[in-house]
Amino acid sequence: MILSRRWLEAMLGRSLDPKDLEHRLSMLGTPVEAIIPHHQDLGDVLVARVLEVKRHPNADRLSLCLVDGGGAPVEVVCGAPNVTAGHTYPYAPVGAVLPGGLKLEKRKIRGVESNGMLCSAKELGLGADHAGIFELATDAAPGTRLLDALPLADDQIVIEVTANRPDLLCHKGVARELGASLSVPFRLVEIPGAAPVPAPERSASASGTVGGVQVRLEDTEGCPRYLAAVIRGVRVGPSPSWLALRLEAVGQRPINNVVDATNYILFEINQPLHAFDLAQLDGPAVVIRRAGVGERIVTLDGVERTLSPDMTAICDARRPTIVAGIMGSATSEVSANTRDLVLECAYFEPRRIRRTRRALGLSSESSYRFERGIDLHGMPEAMRRAIALIQAVAGGELTGPPLDLWPEPTQPRTIFLRPDRVSALLGTPVAREEIERHLSAIGFVTAPKDSRLAVQVPGWRPDVSREVDLVEEVARFMGYDTFPDELKPYRLGTVPDAPAERAKDRVRAALVGAGFYEARTFPLGPADGPDSVPVLNPMSAEEAHLRTRLLPGLIRRVEHNWAAHTRDVRLAEVGTVFRRGDPGTKGPVEWVSVAGVLTGGRRPAHWTEGAKVPDMDIWDLKYHFELAVGVSAPDATVSERGNAWEALAPDGSVVGWAGSLGADAPVWAAPLFGFEVRLEEAAPLPVSYRALPEHPAVERDLALILPAGVTASAVEQRLRRNALLEAVSVFDEYRGPAIPGDQRSVAWHLTFRDPTRTLRDGEVDEILARALKALEDELDVRRRAS
Amino acid sequence: MPARPAVRGGLHLVTQVVNEICEIFLELGFTRAVGPEAETEWYNFGALNFPADHPAIDAQDSFYLGDGVLLRTHTSPVQIRVMERHTPPIRVVSPGQCYRRDPFDPSHSPVFEQVEGLVVDEGISFVDLKATLSTFARRFFGSETRTRFSPSFFPFTEPSADMQVTCSVCHGSGCPTCKHSGWLEILGAGMVHPAVFEHCRLDPERYTGFAFGMGPHRIAMARHGIPDIRLFFESDVRFLAQFAGPR
């Protein structure tokens, strides 16, 4: 929303400093996005009178003007056809700087020296017209600064209006807030040449006649209140400069006096109006009804639109002429030929407008305001002011008082406010008088009622519906900064710290400690599995599904790093994944997944090793997978499956996977591996201390021949049956000529210890013999002949 | 000669910021609470006092999954879930990922992190809101930090406020980070709207409370001078390593 500082100043009857304005509005809850100086770059331009116009001696299209710019008359070459002796024009003398930075110098044009320039509106940034120079309607003496002669210099105050405050979408609403803040009254600016307008006549029924036009309000749900007036004999033409300048100052292009007048009322008091050509109405009638199925209208933007019965249309006797509250048709619009017009001042139901606007994909200044709610009770005054303005700028005769159809009138809302509730909620005592003062300054009407205040809410504040809304109004005008901010004692809450967050902390710490950088990948992407959840309204086809796994996203991130010539990459992510819910359940199933990808050198290179380190392989992967499983799903066990590993929960379900990954890899890249595990929330049990050994251990090496299909872990499982085996580790694997077929030799280092006494070698020999017997019987594993 | 380096990793900067925020609130007696990212319209909007078909919903354009389920546009639904399950006093912060149908640009991402907070008890007032959040700001941005509160609008709080802090880069004198205003807007807050209490079957006459929410991505960008939010999602090791602490 763009405000004109000058317009606000006119309403408040005092000057405003843009910086102060910005601060005040922000502290009242309306942030200022920008303050844009408007036409302040015209400071060098003067008012000048042309004393004499002669033909340029060397050019037919140019004239030579004698110009009184305040000092001694000077000669100026001018190319405009409309320059006339005795008239007044904007004049940029030598040395002046024009908008856009052009600095005027004395120079010869076709052999004649020109002392500056007479300017067109376009050259001054005042409009598109550059065919002729800009004739000024001013009594100011030649030499007066243009900015002193015309109300041009302004500041555009761009404010951000929250969705709850439609009243701030106009100058009146903002002036009301500023007036309360500055303790000055505000009033609407007098319209030059305005005549009194009779008050609208309320009709208790839903139809009536005004100026010979039948008005029928059929859709009272979509349009609770409808005012109409007929003005005959208007002269459509350009607006007077004061009106054009006001609109131009808020970024609106002047169109014609009638349309400009309705726009002025919109930006002044936030009442959208619609003026349409009576001659184009069949009937003549104005019918406010639901649109018929498939009814069509060509809107002002030239697009044919199909309406439906959940939209309100303003129709003549035959067809829709306006999509209510949004846009009119090209045919019914006021044109240069319009003589008689119907002026509409309506309240359209906000939700209806919003749904229609979305369905048609069509919005306008009007729909924006109707959607937020306009002042239902201020409409008669808005109508009178609009008529007065149209008559002042376009003439015309009002054919009788405006018609006001409001079949089910409502009273302004009254809310009861407890002053002690204000103090309690704001945490500081607030006197009843102070409450009343703040509320009445912005148009609320207060009256004592028992120990409370009965507060009548003005129509322009549809957001205020409960006591607490009034508390906010009081707090706003007291100023949020006036409240203390000293920390008081508090009671601890009853909610335990979320186990899910604690689990995420644990797994992140473990993976970061193992050398992973944490990644956060984008959770939307292409479908990555049969169960992936589609988004109904994605922003692109590539981001139309929620991820079921983290690994695909991480692989893309590795490729991104490869593209930046990074070879060593270890990324881990802890993130939410989703899959389609089971039939009969609402929404997807989601859980937290933990994944890692690794590629490149096992550790950073160092000069002592000739800067060569081996690349990570599947055994690095297995280590990190077991680490991730240990911290994410402590009850799960890792087992081999084909060329990969799985983590199996105690119930046998697969909760994790690790293996080699395919990717779009450059030739210099190392192999890529990855793992993914489902995160369990349960906290691990505290670790119980085991006494440190006091007796020596007995150590043995053991080389075994394993037939195909027998895993090292199966062997270890059997060795561990003896409680005295303290530690077991593989130190070699061999396949080759010395071992027949698809068998292999695996060598273990075993540590035996009895915590209560010193073990003897003979005991260990016996234990080993028993273990070898079991291995041979159960797994066909034998000791390798040395 | 150079030392032998070890493999090194690090938490994502957004995680670090989320953790820092949560740790300060944990010191102030809060605990963490979480909820699902795929939420119902009721939890995401209705229970939070967003009227149906109201323009306030436009600011939170949503990804819909069908069946009245959408990707949550804020972590505020966790407020509702906590109040439904627990009795006051409640002091929670809820970190988590949120989704809005905004195209990527240097300062917007359709996916972003949020940390919300909720305090509910008897006798909680606007002064408690200001005190708690100002304390947080001083702990997070430094003890010299000043705060400024101004009115704002959120359907689920009334009165509502925005909190600004003196710019952590220029300390208030004006710089590009704070757009030369000297202030950074870092969080929205407000007193819990009575309608929200009613939706959770808590008596708004007995209990009052405040809620607040902030965006760790934004805060990280302001504090660390990161020009483009997309850097957070690229997972470029060179970016991640910058925030992994001293070598």
Q: At what angle do helices A419-426 and A467-478 cross, to 10 degrees?
A: 60
**Given pLDDT bands bounded at 50, 70 and 90, which one contains residue B143?**
very high
**What mean pLDDT comes out for the span A668-695?**
93
Task: Give the pLDDT confidence score for residue A173 in this predicted structure.
Answer: 97
pLDDT tens across A622-665, in order? 999 999 999 999 999 999 888 899 999 999 999 999 999 999 99
Q: Is residue B77 part of a domain?
A: yes
> Could you give the ipTM of this predicted complex?
0.95
Is the separation of the CB atoms in A572 and A596 below 8 Å?
yes
Residue A587 and residue B92: Cβ atoms within 8 Å? no
Rg for chain A (alpha carbons), in Å? 42
Task: Give the pLDDT confidence score for residue A582 in this predicted structure.
Answer: 87
Q: Is the pLDDT of residue A611 over 80?
A: no
- What one-character-per-residue DSSP string does B144-178 give? T--EEEEEEEETTEEEEEEEEEE-TTTTTS--GGG
Task: Give the pLDDT confidence score for residue A80 in this predicted structure.
Answer: 81
Type of residue numbered A237: G
Q: Is residue B6 part of a domain?
A: no
Residue B56 and residue A483: Cβ atoms within 8 Å? no
Nearest to A164 among B92, B153, B240 (CB): B153
Is the separation of the CB atoms in B173 and B146 below 8 Å?
no
Q: Which residues of B touch A569 (CB under 8 A)?
A: 237
Task: Give the pLDDT confidence score for residue A269 in this predicted structure.
Answer: 97
Contacts with B, A 579-598, CB within 8 Å: 586-588, 590
Residue A517 and residue B12: Cβ atoms within 8 Å? yes
A514 and B CB contact within 8 Å: yes
Q: Which residues of A touch B148 (CB under 8 A)?
A: 481
Q: At what angle do helices A365-372 and A350-360 cross, to 10 degrees?
A: 140
pLDDT tens across A232-282, in order? 999 999 999 899 889 999 999 889 999 999 999 999 999 999 999 999 999
pLDDT tens across B26-74, in order? 999 999 999 999 999 999 999 999 988 777 777 668 999 988 999 999 9
A550 and B CB contact within 8 Å: no
Q: Is residue B7 part of a domain?
A: no
**What mean pLDDT comes out for the span A742-765?**
94
- What percent of chain A clears pLDDT 90, i.e. is strictly above it? 80
Q: Which residues of B touch A424 (CB under 8 A)?
A: 123, 125, 208
| DSSP bridge partners of B208 | B121
Nearest-CA residue of chain A relative to B191?
A425
Compute the count of residue pairs across chains A and B with CB atoms less than 8 Å apart: 265
Residue B237 and residue A561: Cβ atoms within 8 Å? yes
Q: Which of A130-144, A157-171, A421-435, A693-707 shows the lowest mean pLDDT across its residues? A: A130-144
Q: Is residue B132 part of a domain?
A: yes
Residue B32 and residue A469: Cβ atoms within 8 Å? no
Distances (CA, A) of A42 to A65, A78, A92, A124: 22, 20, 9, 7
B148 and A CB contact within 8 Å: yes
**What mean pLDDT comes out for the span B190-217?**
97
In this structure, what CATH number is given to the domain that contains residue B95? 3.30.930.10
Q: Torsion angle of alpha carbons A358, A360, A363, A369, nearest 10°?
A: -60
A570 and B CB contact within 8 Å: yes
Residue B9 and residue A608: Cβ atoms within 8 Å? no
Type of residue numbered A164: N
Q: Which residues of B touch A481 (CB under 8 A)?
A: 148-149
B7 and A CB contact within 8 Å: yes
Q: Which of A368, A470, A485, A555 best tests the B interface by mutation, with the highest count of B CBs <10 A?
A: A485
Task: Give the pLDDT confidence score for residue A325 in this predicted structure.
Answer: 94
Q: Which of A215-219, A392-396, B225-229, B239-243 shows the lowest mean pLDDT across its residues? A: B225-229
Q: Is the pLDDT of residue A134 over 80?
A: no
- Work out the minimum CA distance from B167 to partner chain A, whole angstroms: 17
A517 and B CB contact within 8 Å: yes
Task: Give the pLDDT confidence score for residue A132 in this predicted structure.
Answer: 64
Q: Which residues of A touch B27 (CB under 8 A)?
A: none
What is the domain extent for residue B196? Answer: 19-236
Q: Is residue B246 part of a domain?
A: no
Return the higher-pLDDT residue of A526 and A131.
Answer: A526
Q: Is the pLDDT of residue A539 over 70?
A: yes
Is the separation of the CB atoms in A530 and A538 below 8 Å?
no
Residue A426 and residue B125: Cβ atoms within 8 Å? yes
**What mean pLDDT comes out for the span A348-363?**
94
A351 and B CB contact within 8 Å: yes
Residue B127 and residue A537: Cβ atoms within 8 Å? no
Task: Give the pLDDT confidence score for residue A786 in this predicted structure.
Answer: 66
Nearest to B11 among A498, A508, A561 (CB): A508
Q: Is residue B242 part of a domain?
A: no
Nearest to B9 among A494, A511, A536 (CB): A511
- Work out the minimum CA distance from A557 to partner chain B, whole angstroms: 6
Average pLDDT in chain B: 93
B150 and A CB contact within 8 Å: yes
Average pLDDT in chain A: 93
- Work out the minimum CA distance from B107 to partner chain A, whole angstroms: 16
Q: Is the pLDDT of residue A666 over 60?
A: yes
Q: Is residue B245 part of a domain?
A: no
Q: Which of A89-103, A315-329, A346-360 shows the lowest mean pLDDT across its residues? A: A89-103
Is the separation of the CB atoms in A112 and A121 below 8 Å?
no
Classify burial at A501, counting beta carbons within 10 Å of its beta carbon; exposed 0-12, middle 13-18, buried 19 or more. buried
Q: Structural domain tally of chain B?
A: 1
- Work out the minimum CA distance from B142 to partner chain A, whole angstroms: 17
pLDDT tens across A201-223, in order? 998 889 999 999 999 999 999 99
Q: Which residues lie closer than 8 Å to A288 by C-beta, 6 or more apart? A: A215, A216, A217, A218, A219, A222, A223, A226, A312, A313, A314, A315, A324, A346
Q: Which of A161, A355, A495 best tests the B interface by mutation, with the highest count of B CBs <10 A?
A: A495
- Work out the minimum CA distance from B14 to partner chain A, whole angstroms: 9
pLDDT tens across A14-59, in order? 999 999 999 999 999 999 999 999 999 888 999 999 998 888 888 8
User: What is residue A369's three-state secondary structure?
Assistant: helix
Gap between the Cα atoms of B195 and B47, Å rounded? 8
Contacts with B, A 433-462, CB within 8 Å: none
Residue A757 structure tokens: 């006494």
Q: Is residue B98 part of a domain?
A: yes
CA-based nearest residue to B108, from B232, B236, B235 = B232
**Given pLDDT bands bounded at 50, 70 and 90, which one contains residue A131?**
low
Task: Give the pLDDT confidence score for residue A81 in this predicted structure.
Answer: 80
- Give the 3-state DSSP-derived string for B173-192, with helices as H, strands as E and coil as C: CCCHHHCCCCEEEEEEEEEE
- Work out the minimum CA distance from B39 to partner chain A, whole angstroms: 8
- The structure's pTM equals 0.90
**What mean pLDDT comes out for the span B195-202?**
97
Helix ranges, A606-669 (H): 618-632
Q: Which residues of B touch A531 (CB under 8 A)?
A: none
Task: Give the pLDDT confidence score for residue A199 in this predicted structure.
Answer: 95
Residue B37 and residue A576: Cβ atoms within 8 Å? yes
Task: Give the pLDDT confidence score for residue A129 in this predicted structure.
Answer: 60
Residue A513 and residue B97: Cβ atoms within 8 Å? no
Q: Which residues of B touch A487 (CB under 8 A)?
A: 131-132, 135
Residue B237 and residue A571: Cβ atoms within 8 Å? yes
Task: Give the pLDDT confidence score for residue A617 in this predicted structure.
Answer: 96
Task: Give the pLDDT confidence score for residue A130 in this predicted structure.
Answer: 52
CA-based nearest residue to A566, from A613, A599, A529, A610 = A599
Residue B232 and residue A520: Cβ atoms within 8 Å? yes
Q: Which residues of B touch A163 (CB under 8 A)?
A: 54-56, 58-59, 153
Residues in chain B: 247
Task: Give the pLDDT confidence score for residue A642 in this predicted structure.
Answer: 86
Q: Which residues of A touch B82 (CB under 8 A)?
A: 495
Cα end-to-end distance, chain B, whole Å: 16
Residue B11 structure tokens: 């938490």
Task: Give the pLDDT confidence score for residue B247 in this predicted structure.
Answer: 65
Nearest to A495 among B8, B82, B160 (CB): B82
pLDDT tens across A394-405, in order? 999 999 999 999
B245 and A CB contact within 8 Å: no
